[in-house]
Structure 1
Amino acid sequence: MRSLTRSAVTVAAGVLLGSSLLTVPAAAYGGPAVPVIAWEGCGPEFPGFDCATVEVPLDYDKPRGATTKLAMARKTATDKNKRIGTLFMNPGGPGGSGKYFVLGAASSFAKLNERFDLLGFDPRGINESSPVRCFQTVAELRTFFTNEAIGKVPYEPEQKRPYVDHFRKLGPHCTSNAQTASKHVSTADVARDMDLLRQAVGDKKLSYLGLSYGTYIGNTYASLFGKNVRALVNDGTLDPQLWSSGWQIADDRTNSGRSFDEMLNVCDQAGPHCVFHSPDQTAKARWEKLADSIRAKPVVVDDELVDYDYLIGFGAYSTYGPGIWRPFLNFLVQVEKAASSGTPVTTNDPEIKALRQKQEEYNNGNEAYYVNQCADTEYPRHFAEYDAIGRWAEAGSRFGPSWWWSNAACADWPVNEDRFAGPWMTKTAAPALVVGNYFDGVTGYNGAKASSRYMQGSRLLTYAGWGHTAYGATDCVTDHIDNYLIEGKLPAEGTVCPAAPNPFLPTTQLNTKPAVSDLLMTLRK
């Protein structure tokens, strides 16, 4: 099943890490013991990085009971004399690896790394942190999520009930196989873990940068531990009320379509520099005609079937950032050729092939996503509700259903008793910084506005451009975030950073500094 994520990192790594699992005595009041972190080198693949594994309570209601492991990595501050402390980082998902985000992305945060140790940890139940496994083998997992008869977004009426009937089996299957561990993987427990790690690294207050779903961790931490905040940045921000209540679709149904349409508008503005521009019609009209054609009759490009589900999934993926726009629109031109000729097309375009391979990869992300999302959020239980909301999602845009239907896997999945679902209104010890893009197709701008309202005294920084998350998109955004995290200096109220130059124009006119959003592009939940 191809489905969308709020972001995850595609950094590959296979280092086996060993470290002692040490703790100091528990506090006198019987609270959780603060781990002692035994840092070791991460191996020759990651010079200059330290890795460790620690144990934390599985159930914070029983802080001296069973434990679960957290895997993490850090890049120590390069200016030891001016070191501020530790900057905790999370790239999103749910299911994204904070550990490998730091291992792969530290160079994108060079200014912050001068003053902070950059630290990322895999949230409990995910990747190397005592991963919750719903299947005995990878073959079983693949069979469930890539069921050829079921595993499509159900755009047609006859596909819908079989889809829901299939994916609702995941909850009982997973909670039965994973047993106790699956009952303690909520975002609230992730926030509790992070506060324990804050103590373990010796910081009196938390400094945090959360991207995408990582902003939900940020809002949760602010609600549970607001007095412990030194500096907190949410970038690519979710509305925590929508997310926790199961109504994120209220934003998703229109947001991806709006951001996709903006890509087509920017294409038209670039004229002949954009391959999908036409002198006799808008790029939007050309897209609508092509999408209707593929819905009626799929085509073959590079020996793979391109049907409507595939086309829409790839289109939604393009809203992750301008780095995908050019190869995606090149791909549309090839699909158009196949549709008009009625014969298969071979592109021999390495950029197209690279993106399509990334889109089709399976990296265990589906399982990791549901372990957390279904634990946090109460979704409908009945097919009729899924069907009604699915039709409402499709009325919002072509991309609405691709965000909605995969939630059917949560239909029979009990939420965790220790989850946090509000109230979200809170006041942090230091004001937070919330960042939102006008055209973020994954987490809409309204989410940033809502998050800023919930954290009293926070400041909203707006980027008037495109892509999922804003750090690295322009110097304006990056400098404001860096200055806030390092100096505690908030941008002036109402600050809007201008969009980067049109990405379809010749590259000599573009800011070549890579955006962090380029590290957050994946279709896997």
Structure 2
Amino acid sequence: MRTRKRYLPVAVGLLLLSSLSACSNSADEGPTVPAGPVPEGLEKYYGQQLDWGECRPYATDTMAQQAFGGEGLECARLTVPLSYDEPQGTTITVGLLRKPATAPDDRIGSLVLNPGGPGGSGMVTAAQLSGAVSRTELGKRFDFVGFDPRGVGASEPVIDCLTDAEMDADRADATAMDGVDDVADAERDAKEFAAKCAERTKHGEKMLANLGTRDVVRDMDVLRSALGDEKLTYLGYSYGTRIGTTYAETFPGNVRALLLDGAVDPEQDMLESLVAQAEGFGGTFGKFVEWCVGRDDCALGGDAATAVQKYQDLVRPLLDEPVTLPDGRELSYGDATTATVAALYSKQLWPSLNQGLAALGKGEGTVLMALADMYYERGPDGKYSSTQEGLVAIRCVDDPPVTDPDRIEAAQAEYAEKAPFLDAGLPPSSARDACAFWPVEHTSEPHLPDVDGIPPALVVSTTNDPATPYQAGVNLAKALDGRLLTFEGAQHTAFLSAGDTCVDQAGIAYLVDGELPPEGTRCG
């Protein structure tokens, strides 16, 4: 939290929705006319026919290359205006991937997916989930469609801020900020990052200004029509829940069903969200400790009361002396803590985290670096995906910048208090991040969504979700007047990812038939 680089931050009864019975065009038919309502002047976009084909040419990084070889996957590009204020002007494209419904005669429509981030690839996520989904009613009744939001992944143009070498160098720079000069240094770096984004991204500031959720949901409505669906069926994870609620605000009459898992609190600004996330990571680290100390090989010893101190004893020395790896790279304090945070997203990674911490105690950093590389989506060829740059760029245009140094410093201190394992033992910093120097104005801001008239949404929230704390889901379900489904677990999101039949069956029943689980349902 206080290393020098701050611009890369470590998602009553049963009701049948009346619109669920309507089917749309079959998977093999492209619409010749727009489906559903069309905003004036956008007819050519809403009525476009998608040219589905081989997915491998769409792969832009190692993860995509591995995912896009799945059986039965099809890809296409959706054309949208760069600025919806100038629909006759410059156009850009949005990358799409689908797994067609396996029972086309019973097809309902398309299930559109976004994995969050912001900046995550919906194409990669849809490809990774397609095999599991195809064995369910979702796979039989829906085309499963993932999209890369504008500026991300296979969409064109892509956000471009740092070279791969610059990303490596940024991660390796763990210079601690413990004085006024260091704050000025950090802010200079943040300024340079913002300037590079504007300079290196095609269409420059105009692209950055039209990059946020405001524009993504308009793209998603164009996609809905191009897929032949009069109403949208949507599955959003993590920051994708914000996309879902924004879509419902913008196009309330076009909503068929919204399943939102791992909610972002709609009222929190960036600092408030970060502090709440610290509490989530702190709680999940405690669960990791409980698991670890019960093992004979726990890298943090056998006493939960001293585990945080033992963790700090392992990682804090990296602030002054990184560990050199066999390939010449250096494991920094930032990479070690990022590796820890990455492993807290899923219990399946806890053994790897324990192994990595034990190896660090012996002066070895390969396992932790692999976990950090996974978080940053760095491939074995040294190339990064666009996710991290997208995360920063989208958040900077989605929310007002936080510029009050006293508030920033107080949030830094509270972060360390709520997630003590991430406390570097240094004074809190007041350095502003890249958003404070962003070259364009923000286009959205946190607020309670106004979604009167939409069908009830289903919100899934996990009790020990490290990245999107449980209470955020409670708050979102209330704001949407929807239904909350609680999953008792320690991971980030649950639907189709936790292996929990209770959660999966409830979500599938909702998406297919509009059946909400009973009030107060808890799974896990």
Report the TM-score, using the length of structure 1 for normalisation.
0.79
Deviations 1:452-478 (A, max 9, x none): 12112x000111101111023111111
Deviation at 1:346, TM superposition (A): 8.1
Name 2:132's counterpart in structure 1: 108
Name 1:205's counterpart in structure 2: 231
Deviation at 1:368, TM superposition (A): 1.8
Deviation at 1:165, TM superposition (A): 2.1
Pick the aligned partner of 2:116 from 92, 97, 117.
Answer: 92
Pick the aligned partner of 1:30 from 41, 49, 55.
Answer: 41
Checking the alignment, whether the CA contact within 8 Å between 1:36 and 1:200 is kept in structure 2 is: yes
Name 1:468's counterpart in structure 2: 492
Deviation at 1:114, TM superposition (A): 1.0
Deviation at 1:176, TM superposition (A): 4.6
Pick the aligned partner of 2:101 from 66, 77, 102.
Answer: 77
Pick the aligned partner of 2:461 from 426, 436, 443.
Answer: 436
Pick the aligned partner of 2:192 from 161, 169, 177.
Answer: 169
Report the Cα distance in structure 1 between the residues aligned to 2:211 and 2:171, rounded to whole angstroms: 31
Deviation at 1:153, TM superposition (A): 7.6
Deviation at 1:416, TM superposition (A): 4.5
Supply the RMSD in Å over aligned alpha carbons.
Answer: 3.3
Deviations 1:103-139 (A, max 9, x none): 232113221111100111111111222234445xxxx
Structure 2 residue matching 1:53: 3-state secondary structure: strand
Deviation at 1:196, TM superposition (A): 1.6
Name 2:397's counterpart in structure 1: 375
Q: Any residues of structure 2 matched to 1:416-427 within 5 Å, and which? A: 416=441, 418-419=443-444, 421-427=446-452
For structure 1, which segment, 104-113 or 230-239, has the greater mean C-alpha deviation from structure 2 after superposition? 104-113
Q: Any residues of structure 2 matched to 1:12-31 within 5 Å, and which? A: 29-31=40-42
Structure 1 residue matching 2:520: 3-state secondary structure: coil
Report the Cα distance in structure 2 between the residues aligned to 1:134 and 1:401, rounded to whole angstroms: 31
Deviation at 1:27, TM superposition (A): 6.0
Name 1:290's counterpart in structure 2: 311
Q: Does 1:485 align with 2:501?
A: no
Deviation at 1:250, TM superposition (A): 3.1
Checking the alignment, whether the CA contact within 8 Å between 1:35 and 1:54 is kept in structure 2 is: no
Distance 1:176-1:386 versus aligned 2 partners, 3 A rule = farther
How many pairs were matched up? Answer: 465
Deviation at 1:46, TM superposition (A): 4.2
Deviation at 1:146, TM superposition (A): 3.9
Name 1:14's counterpart in structure 2: none
Structure 1 residue matching 2:316: 3-state secondary structure: helix
Report the Cα distance in structure 1 between the residues aligned to 2:349 and 2:70, rounded to whole angstroms: 27
Checking the alignment, whether the CA contact within 8 Å between 1:35 and 1:55 is kept in structure 2 is: no
Report the Cα distance in structure 1 between the residues aligned to 2:297 and 2:504, rounded to whole angstroms: 28
Name 1:227's counterpart in structure 2: 253
Checking the alignment, whether the CA contact within 8 Å between 2:205 and 2:439 is kept in structure 1 is: no
Deviation at 1:285, TM superposition (A): 1.4
Deviation at 1:433, TM superposition (A): 0.4
Name 1:13's counterpart in structure 2: none
Q: Which runs of 5+ in 2 are unaligned?
A: 12-29, 57-68, 379-383
Report the Cα distance in structure 2 between the residues aligned to 1:429 and 1:28, rounded to whole angstroms: 19
Report the Cα distance in structure 1 between the residues aligned to 2:140 and 2:432, rounded to whole angstroms: 41
Report the Cα distance in structure 2 between the residues aligned to 1:28 and 1:301, rounded to whole angstroms: 57
Structure 2 residue matching 1:426: 3-state secondary structure: coil
Report the Cα distance in structure 1 between the residues aligned to 2:300 and 2:353, rounded to whole angstroms: 13
- AA partner of residue 377 (structure 1): D
Report the Cα distance in structure 2 between the residues aligned to 1:91 and 1:205, rounded to whole angstroms: 20
Deviations 1:6-36 (A, max 9, x none): 4xxxxxxxxxxxxxx9996996943453142
Checking the alignment, whether the CA contact within 8 Å between 1:92 and 1:213 is kept in structure 2 is: yes
Report the Cα distance in structure 2 between the residues aligned to 1:43 and 1:68, rounded to whole angstroms: 19
Q: Does 1:121 align with 2:144?
A: no
Pick the aligned partner of 2:415 from 368, 393, 399.
Answer: 393
Name 1:54's counterpart in structure 2: 78
Report the Cα distance in structure 2 between the residues aligned to 1:252 and 1:156, rounded to whole angstroms: 23
Report the Cα distance in structure 1 between the residues aligned to 2:194 and 2:446, rounded to whole angstroms: 20
Report the TM-score, using the length of structure 2 for normalisation.
0.79
For structure 1, which segment, 37-46 or 226-235, has the greater mean C-alpha deviation from structure 2 after superposition? 37-46
- AA partner of residue 229 (structure 2): D
- AA partner of residue 48 (structure 2): V
Deviation at 1:148, TM superposition (A): 5.4
Report the Cα distance in structure 1 between the residues aligned to 2:315 and 2:299, rounded to whole angstroms: 17
Deviation at 1:386, TM superposition (A): 3.5
Report the Cα distance in structure 2 between the residues aligned to 1:42 and 1:309, rounded to whole angstroms: 39
Deviations 1:402-424 (A, max 9, x none): 9x999712111155564364441
Distance 1:264-1:188 versus aligned 2 partners, 3 A rule = same
Q: Which runs of 5+ in 1 are unaligned?
A: 7-20, 339-343, 499-525
Deviation at 1:374, TM superposition (A): 0.9
Distance 1:160-1:346 versus aligned 2 partners, 3 A rule = closer
Checking the alignment, whether the CA contact within 8 Å between 1:150 and 1:162 is kept in structure 2 is: no
Deviation at 1:300, TM superposition (A): 3.7
Checking the alignment, whether the CA contact within 8 Å between 2:107 and 2:141 is kept in structure 1 is: yes
Name 2:53's counterpart in structure 1: 41
Name 1:239's counterpart in structure 2: 265
Structure 2 residue matching 1:375: 3-state secondary structure: helix
- AA partner of residue 355 (structure 1): L
Report the Cα distance in structure 2 between the residues aligned to 1:405 and 1:104, rounded to whole angstroms: 40
Pick the aligned partner of 2:87 from 55, 63, 67.
Answer: 63
Structure 2 residue matching 1:468: 3-state secondary structure: coil
Pick the aligned partner of 2:385 from 363, 374, 395.
Answer: 363
Structure 2 residue matching 1:247: 3-state secondary structure: helix
Checking the alignment, whether the CA contact within 8 Å between 1:219 and 1:424 is kept in structure 2 is: yes
Checking the alignment, whether the CA contact within 8 Å between 1:382 and 1:411 is kept in structure 2 is: no
Structure 1 residue matching 2:157: 3-state secondary structure: coil
Checking the alignment, whether the CA contact within 8 Å between 1:428 and 1:455 is kept in structure 2 is: no
Name 2:480's counterpart in structure 1: 455
% identical equivalent positions? 30
Structure 1 residue matching 2:459: 3-state secondary structure: strand
Distance 1:24-1:142 versus aligned 2 partners, 3 A rule = same
Distance 1:434-1:486 versus aligned 2 partners, 3 A rule = same
Checking the alignment, whether the CA contact within 8 Å between 2:50 and 2:226 is kept in structure 1 is: no
Report the Cα distance in structure 2 between the residues aligned to 1:388 and 1:353, rounded to whole angstroms: 30
Distance 1:259-1:384 versus aligned 2 partners, 3 A rule = same
Report the Cα distance in structure 1 between the residues aligned to 2:198 and 2:220, rounded to whole angstroms: 24
Deviation at 1:388, TM superposition (A): 3.9
Deviations 1:255-294 (A, max 9, x none): 11111111212334xx337644755x22x51342231353
For structure 1, which segment, 419-428 or 49-58, has the greater mean C-alpha deviation from structure 2 after superposition? 419-428
Deviation at 1:354, TM superposition (A): 4.7
Report the Cα distance in structure 1 between the residues aligned to 2:143 and 2:432, rounded to whole angstroms: 37
